[in-house]
Amino acid sequence: MTVPDSRARPPGTPPSSRAGGRPLRRTVPPDTAFWLVALAFHITMLGATLPTPLYPLYQRQMGFSTLTTTVVFAAYALGVLTALVLFGRVSDAVGRRRTLLPGLACSALSAMVFLTAHDLALLLVARLLSGLSAGVFTGTATATLVDLAGRGGSERATLVATVANIGGLGAGPLVSGTLAQLAPDPMRLPFLVDLLLLASAVAGLWLMPEPVPTSMPRPRLRLRVAWPRVPAAMRATFVRASTAGFAGFAVLGLYTSVAPSFLSRLLGLPDPALAGAVAGTLCAASALGQIVLVKPLGHRALPVACGLIVVGMALLAAGLAAASLLLLVAAGAMAGLGQGVAFRGALTVLNSTAPSARRAEVASAFFVVMYTAISLPVIGVGLAAGAVGLRTAGTGFSVGVALLAAGALVALRGLGSGMTPEEQPEDHPEERPEAHAP
């Protein structure tokens, strides 16, 4: 005789509710949810770079300098790092979905502030909110994709996460630049489109099943400054991976910050569509490198990435010296390939070696390092441009990033080629969360 399960839905109870009256949220299968999360990730990162080709327009409208543009970017970087520090471990405790939805809310608020931005203060608020959204998504969405991919799907999830991330960053300038060039109301229309895209992302995440088990009791959520920690067993691996990733993200920050200004001020090409396309070149090449090069290169991926970055920075320095659009685009393509290989190669190693219960925390720690790297060149160029001029400042920082990548290449050779996913188990029992004080 079979004993009825008291948890079963009584006859006549709609599928959308439990017997006790508590609503049961409808969800989609994990495979479908995987792509919905990837889409939300892409849309969020697209919103983060929408303003890039619009900065010359804001400069003319509000009358601020290149240094002020640096301050605006610094507000975005501050938002990213704040989110990573405050929320980097939250999704491991409260669940992925409950963390991602507020991230989308911050992105929507940012777009709404941009729609009404008429002075520098509102611009700073909008970029801070955008940074908070990106900071929430970078670590949590990456961990969510790995969770939804299931055991053995870490490599595929990492590829999708990095392409969604960098692809979104590259699509943002392209979309806003094209709309600003060809459509009316260039300061508002890109953000109206962004809000429509974000609405679709919210709908997708609402249907996502929670991949973090909810049967175990969870600690009470307390927001506090807590730098994401890396488990002791994988710290050497983290350093190897982050060294190359740092050089790659320094390239991304340098190129996306100087390209629109150089086109407008040094080459006399102020078109927003061109600025968006040039800034997007690096991100498109990054996505291509992630898809095409990482797997064939195998353990050589990170050293090769550093070499590509050095060549790309040499081309950028030459392009700035010669005021050549062709060299500027070639630099973006070459450096983008290197950045993409470094990014995916590093994240693949970390996702495959991190304990599943601390995957979001490790990813957040990685992105703290990456967004520090992306911020320093932008702030440095802005400060130096006022003293020595934009061309000299850009050339100097190109040389600096090339030396950084060369140093990373030497460090990787000295430490070995890095750890491949096959060399590490999927989890580390000694690093389970119960071994750590809350």
Average pLDDT over residues 406-429: 54
d(CA 24, CA 280): 42
Residue 367 scores a pLDDT above 60: yes
* Single-letter amino acid, residue 294: V
Which pLDDT score is estimated for 45?
Answer: 94
Share of the chain above pLDDT 70, in %: 84
Domains of the chain: 30-212+226-426 (1.20.1250.20)
**Phi, psi at residue 17, to the nearest 5°?**
-140, 155
pLDDT band of residue 211 (cuts 50, 70, 90) is confident
* Single-letter amino acid, residue 279: A
Q: Which residues, in sequence order, are CB contacts of 328 under 8 Å at separation 6+?
A: 259, 262, 263, 278, 316, 319, 320
Q: How many CB atoms lie within 10 A of CB 230?
A: 21
Higher pLDDT, 180 or 114: 114
Which pLDDT score is estimated for 220?
Answer: 54
Tens of pLDDT, residues 64-97: 777 787 788 888 888 988 888 888 778 877 889 9
Residue 353: C-alpha distances to residues 37, 161, 243, 404, 421 (Å): 22, 16, 17, 26, 7
CA dihedral 303, 306, 311, 313 (to 10 degrees): 180
With tokens 């969870």, the residue in question is: 218
Share of the chain above pLDDT 90, in %: 28
Tens of pLDDT, residues 233-269: 888 888 878 888 888 888 887 777 667 777 877 788 8
Average pLDDT over residues 94-120: 93
d(CA 344, CA 243): 13
| DSSP class per residue in 10-70 | PTT--TTB-TTS-B------HHHHHHHHHHHHHHHHHHHHTTGGGHHHHHHHHT--HHHHH
**Phi, psi at residue 348, to the nearest 5°?**
-60, -45
Contact (CB, 8 A) for 117 and 165: no
d(CA 103, CA 367): 16
Residue 419 scores a pLDDT above 60: no
Which pLDDT score is estimated for 169?
Answer: 87
d(CA 275, CA 260): 5
Average pLDDT in the chain: 81
d(CA 124, CA 101): 23
Closest CA to 290 of 282, 359, 277: 282
